[in-house]
Structure 1
Amino acid sequence: MADMETQITQVWNPDTRPLVEEAWRCYNSGAVRASIATTWTAVTADIITKLIQLADGGDVSAVAFRTEITNAQEKGITPDGVRAMQNIEAALLAKATEFELIDSIGQRELERIREDRNLCVHPSLRSFSEVYEPHPEVARGHLAVALATLLTHPPTQGGRIGQAYLDYTCDPSFVPAVSHIQANFYDRVRATARTNIVKLAAKHALRELDTGGRLPNIEYANRSALVLYAFAQRDRELVRSAVAGQRIHFQTLEGEVQLRALVRLGDQDFFWDLVDRPLCERLEGLLTRTLGAESWEPLRADIAASLATVTSSYTRARIPALEQRFATLSELHRMNVVATRPHPYFVPVVLKFLAEAGSWRTGEQAGQLLVQHSFFLRIEDLQTALTAWANNYECRTAAQMPDLAVALFRNTASLGAEQPAAFVSFLARVQSLAEVGDSYYRYPSLEAALRAEGHIQ
């Protein structure tokens, strides 16, 4: 009983839910015929409402049905109006199948409810003047079928939702809003359509398949990875299964494709379920190969991005050599990697950059990285960073640093009452070390920001 009541609360259409609750109350009170009749009423009301919703949402094919309903309603309770609604009801299940609210199996199951409803409300259909006496289990079964087949599902399904998904993810104005993806392509679709979408996303995220020219393959793969993240928050096992289904195809791809997939998905457990020992060894070889750049030359963006997967605890656990590889990079190359993916893992590295910067240029780069990582800082990290900054001449007197100090002050406002005090102390230190007459490196913009908020009188 509890399971049925839970399903009733999940009825998609709020206008249909009272009818479903009534059918359930009839069943519990022993009014079996009334329960079956009301279940069918809920089915018809639900289909009509959903088809009208499709028409209102711009589905051209549903507009004609909406017009038919409107015309019948305008006739009211007249012989013509009743006949019109009867004709609509007679074709309703076929319409629901046509618009992919249900499939052919679901249509057959709902037909049985209609047939039993007719027996319940038209006793003359049975010979010898016998009244149809349905068993209580029949009423309960019909309600369960109606809930599972139709009533708990949204109005957009099948091929239409698949096309809507492709249109959304290929849109040049695509915005990776997790809640929007979940609402439109997970919460509002049937399990089958949901599974098909996540399988499609897994194929593209891992294999960078062709999109038919709608979008560059790599860009679409990145978007597909975002879809997998969004779906995993709802059903991680569904995503895990879809990703695992790509194992054979993924393991034979080119190394660069595999590395890009690692960058997209390496911080997700379901990706590493795909990686067996031989593939892990291959990825390790790719990650620790020769960089192709001298220590003073910037790293290629793709190489920096692949090395930045060191932030993932899953990657570090499966490929321990990556952490050692990162630690032995030149300072510039480590900065290139850190800039690729701001992450709490890199905060100690950034603090070290500030303390050890040996030129104005590296001092500015360290300051930029600190601002990038500002949202990951604890108050202790901020205090350490400001101390290192003030005490390092190359940082303190680099051209961009006074403005970066203001940006850091703004970005760390959430750290509480100790944050302004840390910046007041920092300002006093840099002003005491500034050369006479060098007003710019007395950080006047930071002083103005502190005064504006009442931290300096």
Structure 2
Amino acid sequence: MADLDTLVNQVWNPETRRLAGEALRCYNAGAYRASIAATWTAVTADIITKVIGLADDGDATAIPFRTAVTNAQAHGLNREGVKAMQAIEADLLANAETFELIDAIDSHELSRIQEDRNLCVHPSLRLHGGTYEPHAEVARGHLVVALTALLTHPPTQGSRALEGFKSYICDSSFSPTPAHLQAAFFDRVRAAAQRRIIQLAAKSALLELDPGGLLPAIEHADRMAAALEAFAARNRALVREAVIGQRDRFRTVDGQAQMRALIRFVNADYFWDLVDDGLANRLQDLVVQVPVSAPGQLTAVEAITPLGLVRSPLVRERLPKLEAHLLAHSWWDQMTVAAAYPDRYFAELIPGYLTQAGGWRVGETVGQLLVKHAPFLTLDILSAALTAWVENYECRTAHLMETIAVDLWNQTAHLGPARTEVFQRFLTRAREHEGVIATGLHTYRALELALTTTR
């Protein structure tokens, strides 16, 4: 059941919010006739304010309405002024529908409020006399309809909201901030417009449609994907429906476009709902077509990026050949991919790289990769990595590794005090290898100082 207090607080216009609050107070007090009358007052005030606002913003079709209201106001409370406002009120819902502030269904529901308001303020309309006694549920229902169909929405027309979204996506000041995208193009936009915006975003992100030369198609698709993810946080089912609806068209776009879409949506569950078995096979062929290179030769972004997709559990589940393809590359090339896409998946592989490091510079490179993956480390991974490090002479005695050890200590604060014991074991073992207690080369005195200072 709708929370009326919350809905009233979401009314976009402060003056209308005051009127809606008055209707709610009447309802809470049991004054249901007054509540219905106040609800209709809020509806009329809101529509008039919104249409005049459209005229002020340059909508030529709204100017005659603004003129009619201004003329009626000029007459004041005399007979002509009252008649003029009554004429405006009589066509108010039709005008609201014309200006896309409401749709036909909303207009029908709001017309019931108008009818019941007339019964409330004109009891003589009842054929056999007597006073109209609205039920509490009727008053509440009318208030909910007014709030959800009209009052909580800004004066954004359906087509205007869509055009505004298109313009923002192509704007040089575009920002993929989810909160802004949600507030501007979803939270206060009508349901029908929400659907159209999401359908456009899904189509553009998957098919890389040309935005009329306003932006490169690939960049435009990237921005649309960011917007789609923001909208998914509000209504994932609606986004999923829009994405799945593009399956047949996505199936026929060129392979490079399909690959870019996979990269954009690699962690989006709604994208994987689009991918049936046929598309999964197609995408798998695309990501494993990069040949296994000679060790140390994996440098092109076009080769590294597809391999980096393996970090996603969804990719490993739906495209299982990719992981085997990555592991067929040399461990040095695997590290190149890991450096480009730090992730928990690659963090678990680093202890093995430390074990295999066969030179000082190689050991230092692996050590730096470990620090880069510090946010993804668990105590178990950290312990395994430090054990491999200290037991590998090339890693343990490399010049930069003592500094790297301190960096790793500082970057693993998220593991808490428990990591102290892990580092202490590493320190003890390093000194056992060197045959000294507290002095000499490769004894990691800087690390000892860091541990002591932090305690």
TM-score band, normalised by the shorter chain? 0.7 to 0.9
User: How many residue pairs get matched?
Assistant: 444
Q: Which runs of 5+ in 1 are unaligned?
A: none
What are the equivalent positions in structure 2 for 1:162-177 lying under 5 Å apart? 162-177=162-177
Decide which of 7, 23, 28 is 1:10's aligned counterpart: 7
> Given residue 21 of structure 2, which amino acid in structure 1 is its aligned partner?
P
1:150 aligns with 2:150: yes
For 2:78 and 2:235, locate their aligned partners in 1 and report how far apart those are by CA, in whole Å: 51
SS at match of 1:10: helix
Distance 1:128 1:18, change over 3 A: closer
For 1:311 and 1:400, locate their aligned partners in 2 and report how far apart those are by CA, in whole Å: 28
For 1:265 and 1:45, locate their aligned partners in 2 and report how far apart those are by CA, in whole Å: 44
1:53 is displaced (CA, Å) by 8.9
SS at match of 1:317: helix
Distance 1:388 1:135, change over 3 A: same
Assess if the C-alpha contact under 8 Å between 2:292 and 2:329 holds in 1. Answer: no
Deviation string, structure 1 residues 306-331 (Cα, Å, up to 9, x no partner): 22222222322222222221221112
Assess if the C-alpha contact under 8 Å between 1:123 and 1:129 holds in 2. Answer: no
1:229 aligns with 2:235: no
For 2:63 and 2:450, locate their aligned partners in 1 and report how far apart those are by CA, in whole Å: 63
Distance 1:37 1:379, change over 3 A: same
1:327 aligns with 2:331: no
What are the equivalent positions in structure 2 for 1:57-76 lying under 5 Å apart? none
Distance 1:358 1:112, change over 3 A: same
- 2:14 corresponds to which residue? none
> Given residue 186 of structure 2, which amino acid in structure 1 is its aligned partner?
Y
> Given residue 324 of structure 1, which amino acid in structure 2 is its aligned partner?
A
1:202 is displaced (CA, Å) by 1.2
Assess if the C-alpha contact under 8 Å between 2:69 and 2:85 holds in 1. Answer: no
- 2:194 corresponds to which residue? 194
Assess if the C-alpha contact under 8 Å between 1:260 and 1:306 holds in 2. Answer: no
Q: Which runs of 5+ in 2 are unaligned?
A: 12-16
Distance 1:187 1:226, change over 3 A: same
Assess if the C-alpha contact under 8 Å between 2:39 and 2:142 holds in 1. Answer: yes
For 2:63 and 2:321, locate their aligned partners in 1 and report how far apart those are by CA, in whole Å: 64
For 2:350 and 2:68, locate their aligned partners in 1 and report how far apart those are by CA, in whole Å: 66
Assess if the C-alpha contact under 8 Å between 2:395 and 2:401 holds in 1. Answer: yes
Q: TM-score, normalised by structure 1?
A: 0.78
Query: What's the Cα RMSD here?
Result: 4.5
- 1:261 corresponds to which residue? 261
For 2:358 and 2:204, locate their aligned partners in 1 and report how far apart those are by CA, in whole Å: 44
Q: TM-score, normalised by structure 2?
A: 0.79
> Given residue 209 of structure 2, which amino acid in structure 1 is its aligned partner?
L
1:155 is displaced (CA, Å) by 4.3
1:51 is displaced (CA, Å) by 7.0
1:344 is displaced (CA, Å) by 1.5
Distance 1:37 1:404, change over 3 A: same
1:21 aligns with 2:18: no
> Given residue 192 of structure 2, which amino acid in structure 1 is its aligned partner?
T
- 2:286 corresponds to which residue? 286
What are the equivalent positions in structure 2 for 1:4-403 lying under 5 Å apart? 5-6=2-3, 9-11=6-8, 12-13=10-11, 14-22=17-25, 24-25=27-28, 31-32=32-33, 34-47=34-47, 86=85, 90=89, 93=93, 96-97=96-97, 100-103=100-103, 106-107=106-107, 109-111=109-111, 113-114=113-114, 116-118=116-118, 120-122=120-122, 133=132, 136=135, 142-143=142-143, 145-291=145-291, 293-398=293-398, 401-403=401-403
Deviation string, structure 1 residues 140-192 (Cα, Å, up to 9, x no partner): 66445424421343444423332333344334454433333333333222211
Deviation string, structure 1 residues 76-96 (Cα, Å, up to 9, x no partner): x9769x869948964755664
> Given residue 343 of structure 2, which amino acid in structure 1 is its aligned partner?
H
SS at match of 1:19: helix
For 1:445 and 1:173, locate their aligned partners in 2 and report how far apart those are by CA, in whole Å: 46
Assess if the C-alpha contact under 8 Å between 1:291 and 1:299 holds in 2. Answer: no
Assess if the C-alpha contact under 8 Å between 1:8 and 1:147 holds in 2. Answer: no
